[in-house]
């Protein structure tokens, strides 16, 4: 695509202007959403003045409810974030025409985009082996100057004999309100690059460098939050193909899906024992909860984008219904859920406990009465 295409709001009128109370409604978001969709990049609304998706409807906020099979998209609602992203002009006009203060997000996977999200947060650097995952940095080398994602990305590029993507004037770059940079590229082939965060211990390109791709979204240039606007940098307004060297680095650091779908993880033995102790062996209640727990356990094979929270929520909802119907005891069901959650996402006890409490409370309002055992 030509680099001289004019992005809406590419001058001083970029996006929605802001006040102390937040962004003022303008036609900027609608123009931005239309422009993005015209380039084949599906868009979805962001909450006014924020960089998170607009809230779900009341039905979609119910515990245990997910985007899978949800009728909201067919009804023209924006529920479930980037899962609702669209290229439909009529729907775009409906969403941003009626609520112009909404921001704009782009679903990266369907848009075939790979965004390098460079952060410049004030944070304590990690151990040197996590600054550039998979690359040894000798002890005699002073890494104290590697304080932001601009530094780690620049060093990675230099090691490969390449200029830093942060300086790539041939692709769309967007300055963030926090001083970071979004570097937009389009995937040059059919590989489905996966998201990551630069602080992850499992999949990361560099410290303070996140990847937005399949399973994620990016805030569109022109969107404004109370912290400031997302502003295009330079004159290029379209993404260039992902450079080969960057594709090689993403592959090296695990940003491709597994070549096969792993078999579901078995329910951990202690969790299974807890279910059996509560439900009496191989009856329907045990099988019902064990099946839901197996889905949660399978998330251990996928560090990100596995839908862990939704799956744990559904399992807790099922457990709550079984407990309310008298098939299981609350203590044993909760113990089984926590055991499985710890396997799938170690070290996230507080988060898991909150999801389990909420899901079981919701399920308890709808007792799950099972048929007689065949």
For residue 72, being part of any structural domain is answered with yes
Radius of gyration of the chain (CA): 23
Say what percent of the chain tops pLDDT 90.
32
Residue 283 binned pLDDT confidence (cut-offs 50, 70, 90): low
Structural domains of the chain, count: 2
pLDDT at residue 233 above 70?
yes
Question: Within a domain: residue 257?
Answer: no
For the segment 6-20, what is each residue's pLDDT rounded down to a tens digit?
455 444 333 333 333
What value does the mean pLDDT take over residues 59-70?
75
Residues 6+ apart with CB under 8 A from 127: none
Highest-scoring range by mean pLDDT, 3-12, 171-180, 331-340: 171-180
pLDDT at position 293, please? 85
Burial of 147 (0-12, 13-18, 19+ CB in 10 A): middle
Q: Do 230 and 274 lie in a common domain? A: no
Same domain, 296 and 227: no
- Could you say which of 252, 286, 306 is where a domain stops? 252
Q: What pLDDT does residue 335 have? A: 87
Instruction: State mean pLDDT over 272-296.
Output: 64
End position of a domain, from candidates 252, 282, 303: 252
pLDDT band at 269 (very low <50, low <70, confident <90, very high): low
320 shares a domain with 239 = no
Kindly state whether residues 330 and 232 are assigned to the same domain: no
Q: Are residues 157 and 301 in the same domain?
A: no
**pLDDT average, residue stretch 247-271:** 71
Q: Does the structure show a pLDDT above 60 at 2?
A: no
Give φ, ψ of 23 to 5 degrees.
-70, 140
| Among candidate residues 252, 285, 314, the one where a domain is terminated | 252
pTM reported for the whole predicted model = 0.64
Single out the residue of 178, 213, 171, 222 nearest to residue 10, CA to CA: 222
**Residue 325 located in a structural domain:** yes
Give 90: exposed, middle or buried? Use CB within 10 Å, 0-12, 13-18, 19+. exposed
- Residue 373, pLDDT above cutoff 50: no
- The answer to whether residue 259 is domain-embedded is no
Query: Which is more confidently placed, 288 or 176?
Result: 176
pLDDT at 301: 65
Which has more pLDDT, 233 or 16? 233
In a domain, 82, yes or no: yes
Above 80 in pLDDT, residue 61? no
CA distances from 51 to 42, 87, 139, 272, 274 (A): 16, 20, 39, 40, 41
Tell me, letter by letter, the H, E, C secondary structure of 19-62.
ECCEECCCCHHHHHHHHHHHCCCCEEEECCCCCCECCCCCHHHC
* Residues 280, 242 share a domain: no
Confidence of residue 255 (pLDDT cuts 50, 70, 90): very high
- Share the mean pLDDT of the chain: 81
Looking at the fold, whether 239 and 274 belong to one and the same domain comes out as: no
Q: Are 56 and 145 in the same domain?
A: yes
Domain holding 179, by residue range, is: 18-252
Quote the pLDDT of residue 281.
43
- Residue 238 · residue 1 · CB < 8 Å: yes
What CA–CA distances, in Å, run from 199 to 28, 180, 181, 193?
A: 34, 15, 17, 18
219 and 274 housed in the same domain: no
Nearest to 318 by CA among 373, 346, 356: 356
Inform me whether the pLDDT recorded for 365 exceeds 50: yes
Highest mean pLDDT among 55-64, 79-88, 232-241, 308-317: 232-241
Give start and end residues of each alpha helix (H) in the chain.
Answer: 28-38, 89-98, 108-111, 149-159, 244-252, 269-279, 284-298, 308-324, 330-344, 349-364
**Reported confidence tier of residue 118, pLDDT bands at 50, 70, 90:** very high
- pLDDT for the residue 13: 37
On the question of pLDDT at 282 being above 50, the answer is no
Q: How many CA atoms lie within 13 A of 368 on its CB side?
A: 21
- Pick left, alpha or beta for residue 206 (phi over 0 → left; psi -120 to 50 → alpha; otherwise beta): beta
Query: Same domain for 138 and 94?
Result: yes
């Amino acid at each position: 695509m030509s680099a001289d295409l004019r992005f809406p709001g590419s001058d001083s009128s970029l996006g929605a202007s802001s006040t102390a109370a937040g962004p003022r409604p303008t036609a900027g978001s609608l123009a931005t959403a239309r422009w993005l969709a015209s380039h084949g990049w599906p868009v979805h609304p962001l909450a006014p003045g924020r960089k998170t998706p607009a809230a779900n409807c009341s039905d979609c906020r119910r515990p245990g409810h997910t985007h899978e099979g949800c009728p909201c998209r067919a009804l023209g609602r924006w529920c479930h974030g980037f899962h609702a992203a669209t290229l439909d002009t009529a729907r775009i006009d409906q969403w941003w025409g009626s609520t112009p203060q909404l921001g704009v997000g782009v679903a990266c996977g369907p848009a075939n985009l790979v965004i390098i999200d460079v952060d410049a947060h004030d944070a304590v650097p990690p151990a040197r082996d996590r600054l550039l995952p998979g690359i040894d940095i000798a002890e005699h080398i002073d890494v104290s100057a590697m304080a932001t994602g601009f530094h780690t990305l620049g060093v990675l590029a230099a090691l490969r004999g390449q200029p830093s993507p942060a300086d790539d004037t041939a692709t769309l770059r967007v300055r963030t309100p926090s001083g970071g940079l979004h570097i937009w590229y389009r995937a040059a082939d059919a590989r489905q690059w996966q998201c990551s965060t630069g602080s992850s211990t499992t999949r990361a390109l560099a410290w303070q460098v996140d990847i937005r791709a399949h399973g994620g979204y990016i805030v569109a240039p022109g969107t404004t939050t109370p912290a400031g606007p997302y502003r295009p940098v330079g004159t290029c307004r379209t993404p260039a193909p992902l450079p080969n060297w960057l594709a090689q680095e993403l592959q090296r650091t695990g940003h491709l899906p597994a070549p096969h779908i792993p078999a579901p993880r078995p329910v951990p033995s202690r969790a299974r024992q807890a279910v059996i102790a509560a439900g009496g062996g191989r009856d329907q209640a045990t099988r019902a909860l064990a099946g839901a727990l197996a889905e949660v356990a399978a998330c251990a094979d996928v560090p990100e984008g596995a839908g862990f929270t939704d799956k744990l929520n559904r399992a807790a909802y099922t457990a709550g219904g079984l407990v309310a119907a008298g098939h299981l005891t609350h203590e044993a069901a909760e113990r089984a859920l926590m055991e499985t959650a710890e396997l799938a996402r170690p070290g996230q006890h507080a988060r898991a406990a909150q999801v389990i409490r909420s899901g079981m409370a919701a399920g308890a309002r709808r007792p799950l009465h099972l048929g007689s055992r065949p």
